[in-house]
Amino acid sequence: MRDVVELGGVSDTLRFSKFLIACAALTAEPVNYKKLADATGVSQPTAKTWLHLLEGLGVIYLLAPYANNALKRLAKTPKLYFCDSGLAAYLAGWLTPLTLMNGAASGHFFKNYVVTELVKGYAVARHTAKLSYLREANALEIDLLVEENNCIHPLEIKKSATPDYREVKKFAVLDRAGATHGCGGIVCMAGEVMPLDAQNCLIPCALL
């Protein structure tokens, strides 16, 4: 709060606290400025300014949508993730590991953990990668695309030890996009790496 006052010029810290809580409610969801503004009692331009202030301070991470001219009607709104999953859970009212694990939002917070761990990993890695997500108008969605050396590695994220293996079939949308894609899989709670097909496997979240 000291940083948003000193660096961001925010004077209404009470409304900003409400804004933080509203952001936590959208963890792993597309940004919705109207929802944020309505929940906080500020204008949508102010909500947008405050969101980018949080991004600049390293509190949140905005995952960009995938863009490709060959695929029509792709989502153009970034997804909101908290760099500290514990902070997001606290703001959203999930105060113990057990209640969070069994709560209705547990899948969203699992995605938050996986995405931000990858973001942190690449921040200190010797090589960089472009991260994005893909969502078509027909609701087909790939949680995370990791692009390295012009090759895309698609990842689904599921809070399950035995996710539906058919999830990897949606990766075929990248063929329609004319994109080169390599190995991918499903990041999940499996105990060990398990091949699903020639290119994809189950990836234990413990490896992140």
pLDDT tens for each residue of 99-158 = 999 999 999 999 999 999 999 999 998 888 999 999 988 778 999 999 998 899 999 999
∠ Cα 177 180 185 (to 5°): 95
- At 49, the pLDDT band (50, 70, 90 cuts) reads very high
pLDDT of residue 202: 97
The per-residue pLDDT for 133 is: 97
Q: β-pairing, 184-188 with 200-204?
A: parallel
Whether 34 has a pLDDT exceeding 90, the answer reads yes
User: What tokens does 113 get?
Assistant: 């953990």
Q: Is the pLDDT of residue 72 over 80?
A: no
pLDDT of amino acid 9: 86
pLDDT for position 86: 95
Cβ density class 152-189: b for 16+ within 10 Å, e for less:
bbbbbbbbeeebeeebbeebebbeebebebeebbbbbe
Give how many domains the chain has, as a whole number: 1
Least confident among 42-51, 107-116, 172-181? 172-181
pLDDT at 82: 98
| Average per-residue pLDDT for the chain | 94
Confidence band of 69 (pLDDT split at 50, 70, 90): confident
Domain boundaries, position 140: 2-207
